[in-house]
Amino acid sequence: MNVRRTMKAHRAMTAVAITTGLVLVVVGCGGGGDDDEPKSGKDKSSSSAAATEGEQGESAAPEDDQALAEAKGDGVTLVVNSAVRDGGGFVTVSGTVTNTSSDLWTGGDWRGEEQELRKNGGSIAGANLLDGKGKKRYLVLRDTSGRCLCTKFAGGVDAGSTVDWFAQFPAPPEGVTKVSFQVGSMPPAPIEISEGE
């Protein structure tokens, strides 16, 4: 008789556990209608914003793709897309370089004159920012091994190809926003530093 009662109690507990588990699954998966509406509302507004941008075509695109500066020489076209001051006390300058020559371009002339920078190979290590007003030049930052905090053009850039590049510099004083970016024998390119987020 004790075995029979134990079996009944065990079955009842199992049924309760299964029922509780199913209720939790239904509640967890069901989600409230309220949570779904804002998401779909956001999706709708995002979709309409994307459609508006698509309809406007080029009017929205130039803001994102507008270059700060462009310089030509050395068989390449250098474009500076951004110069952002970060909270850590440095400025990150970035853009693209396009090989306009018919040969492989290695960036060897851009690695800088300093002996320490020669270890970087073809790179943008020789770049600098010039604060004309404060009469100060800022060189590319490097680590303790002498490696620049910049792009290295490993293997070079094929004719007609475009690659992204970046270089980090010590940040000029807070009030300084207009500087010139210069590398190799490229002409100086005036750029404006923006504040990071």
DSSP 114: S
Using one digit for the tens of pLDDT, what is the confidence trace for 29-76? Answer: 444 444 444 444 444 444 434 433 334 333 333 344 688 999 998 789
pLDDT at res. 197: 67
- Is residue 179 pLDDT above 90, yes or no? yes
Using one digit for the tens of pLDDT, what is the confidence trace for 105-157? Answer: 988 888 877 777 777 778 888 899 999 988 999 999 988 888 889 998 888 99
Quote the tokens at residue 15. 């049924």
Q: Give me the mean pLDDT over the 70-97 stretch.
A: 92
DSSP 102: S
Return d(Cα 17, Cα 172) in angstroms, integer: 67
Mark 124-150 as b/e (b = at least 16 C-beta within 10 Å): bbbbbbbbeeeeeebbbbbeeeeebeb
- Is residue 170 pLDDT above 80, yes or no? yes
Most confident stretch, 5-19, 55-69, 177-191: 177-191
pLDDT at res. 16: 46
13 or 82, which is more confident? 82
